[in-house]
Structure 1
Amino acid sequence: MTKSEPRESESASRLIDGRIQELGDWRGAMLARLRAVVKAADPEVIEEWKWRGVPVWSHAGILCTGETYKNVVKMTFAKGASLEDPAGLFNSSLEGNTRRAIDFHEGEEIDEPSLKALIQAAVVLNQSKSRK
């Protein structure tokens, strides 16, 4: 990599910026807000762009994704089934053994303190798994 080439995370961050702009509606605004919560919860988070256009946030492994659909912005936690969710944020993908998701709809508020705690718990879980 030369000095003029962007690092992979910088390139991914630009692609996420582009997705937010491209959406141009409540979904873009929601994705931007969720991204800000993730970054506030974990300043060391790495942004990635996977699976042909899905924003991914990682720290010692994937923490969560930010998928946008017609009527929902879905935040999927890769190891969500292993996380405590005392605030009951998980409302989607509840049947699996690994993932859990939160579907955000237009006009919904984000419980930022609880979401930050969930993200931080995901970081701790990833770090504990990577040490083994």
Structure 2
Amino acid sequence: MANTMQFDLVSPEKRLASLEATAVQIPAAEGDMTVMPDHAPVITTLRPGLVRVSAADGAQTQYAVTGGFAEINPEGASVLAEHAFLGAAESRAALEGFLEDARKRATEAEAEDRDVAEKFVADLVHLLEAME
């Protein structure tokens, strides 16, 4: 069994991380999951949340993501995020902008789409609270 795995985090804007990790917590759409070396292959969608990485050198880092998907295999995990942030001040301002837009879309959503839109708003609120 390997002690580390490759972790990559990319967004359309840039690559935020590429490192050896011992564990990665991912905000999967079905619920939070922890990925470790030799994990079974999985592809999952992401909800807004924090990706927490335990690096091989012991460093702990967290990234805010607004959604996307993750591909997991025994050798590592790749997260392809819609938007991802590392800095707290920069990410908070951007996420508050996403939240304002999401609230507007939720109020304008058709009845059949309103639940999904309101869930996205709730996930963004929870993400902002987790960052405090």
TM-score in terms of structure 2 length:
0.30
Structure richer in helix, relative to its length: 1
Structure richer in strand, relative to its length: 2
